[in-house]
Amino acid sequence: MSCIPKKLLVWDAHAGLFPSPDMDLNILEDWHRCNVNYLSINVGFDVMSRDETMATLAAYRRWLLAHSERFLLAEKFSDVRKAQHSKRLAISFDIEGMNALGGDINMVEIYHRLGVRQMLFAYNLNNAAAGGCHDTDIPLTRFGIEILSEMNRVGMIVDASHTSYRTSMDLIERSDTPVVFTHSNPASIWPHQRNIKDEQIKACAAKGGVIGFNGLAIFVGDNDTSSESLLRHLFRLIDLAGADHVGLGFDYTPDVTVDLSAILRARPDYWPAGQQYGTANIGHSGPAKIPDLVNGMEARGLSPLEIEGVLGANFARVAKASWSM
């Protein structure tokens, strides 16, 4: 299977773009060229205000609709298959943290109507809804519990990436649909605060969720972009969760004129010292690594069906359970 059959669904659960209305979304061709069929791109995170998130969302929607010959804005699962059959890249949006709601639960449905199909609860720091991974470990707040119920109602995927241990376990226990970690690596391989514990991985899988391993080099190792290190994370997830509960979530940022290290250093509250965020020239592994990952999975003895699941079918299963068909 080293050459990926076109019929397989390839699903990248999260791109690591820094949201901005001025972003040139032609960079999405990096995924299109690699035969990715579906990608979730973030339109906001807790560092941004609600107004900034809405401005970014509006700009991205307009751009995608104007380039429908290459991209399809996916609102339901059948849109993903439609894009695949027409050789387009299906796109939906995600938001990283509940500051984008501005304290208003009604924003969940508004974002859903505008194409947001997954949200995580806190981006590194605690907010009004939940705990972040670089802050005091707290469970969901009362507001967070209300948000979870509303996300389940409207049909959004619940993402526990970036959240605290107690918040993630609370989400997994309370959600009506499977919870995912779209872009999180096992801390037992690389002990970064952004990575997750074995207990979180096992709990996610036990409730039908999926963990997408992350290609950002400081979450893989010491600014490590090697395929061998990515495979160590992948195989650890498979050992803990089973191949049916692992997927792709590269958190990839294409080569754009953005000094990632400078951005991270500018907000030490969200990206604290001692966590490698000040590393010069932080590397990324993205969809171009997929052939190496397939080769590694084949060498490890994974079945074609298991490899198909990791490449996309596992996240697709959660989307079917959460979205409308």
The predicted-structure confidence for 65-82, as pLDDT tens digits, reads as follows 999 999 999 999 999 999
* Distance from C-alpha of 243 to C-alpha of 308, rounded to nearest angstrom: 10
Q: Which residue has the higher pLDDT, 71 or 280?
A: 71
Whether the Cβ atoms of residue 215 and residue 232 lie closer than 8 Å to each other = no
Q: Which band of pLDDT confidence, cut at 50, 70 and 90, is reported for residue 220?
A: very high
Structural domains in the chain (count)? 1
Q: How far is CA 314 from the centre of its chain?
A: 14
Q: Tell whether 1 is covered by a domain.
A: no
Tell me, yes or no, whether 56 lies in a domain: yes
Q: Classify residue 62: in a domain, yes or no.
A: yes
Query: Mean pLDDT across the chain, nearest whole number?
Result: 95
pLDDT in tens, 118-164: 999 999 999 999 999 999 999 999 999 999 999 999 999 999 999 99
In this structure, is residue 193 part of a structural domain? Answer: yes
Give the burial class of 238: count Cβ atoms within 10 A of its Cβ; 0-12 exposed, 13-18 middle, 19 or more buried. Answer: buried
Q: Are 130 and 167 in contact (CB under 8 A)?
A: yes
Site of tokens 């000040």: 278
The CATH number linked to 71 is 3.20.20.140
Report the alpha-carbon distance of residue 36 to residue 52 in Å, rounded: 28
- pLDDT, one tens digit per residue, over 8-49 is 999 999 999 999 999 999 999 999 999 999 999 999 999 999
Q: What pTM, to 2 d.p., does this model score?
A: 0.96
What is the CB neighbour count within 10 angstroms for residue 74? 27
Query: Does 113 have pLDDT greater than 60?
Result: yes
Whether pLDDT at 5 is above 80: no
6 domain residue, yes or no: no
Alpha carbon distance 92, 83 (integer Å):
12
SS3 per-residue string spanning the chain? CCCCCCCCCCEEEEECCCCCCCCCHHHHHHHHHCCCCEEEEEEEECCCCHHHHHHHHHHHHHHHHHCCCCEEECCCHHHHHHHHHCCCEEEEEEEECHHHHCCCCCHHHHHHHCCEEEEECCCCCCCCCCCECCCCCCCCCHHHHHHHHHHHHHCCEEECCCECHHHHHHHHHHCCCCEEECCCCECCCCCCCCCECHHHHHHHHHCCCCEEECCEHHHHCCCCCCHHHHHHHHHHHHHHHCHHHEEECCCECCCCCCCHHHHHHHCCCCCCCCCCCCCCCCCECCHHHHHHHHHHHHHHCCCHHHHHHHHHHHHHHHHHHHCCC
Structural domain span for residue 96: 11-322
Q: Is the residue at 3 inside a domain?
A: no
The pair phi, psi for residue 108, each rounded to 5°, is -60, -50
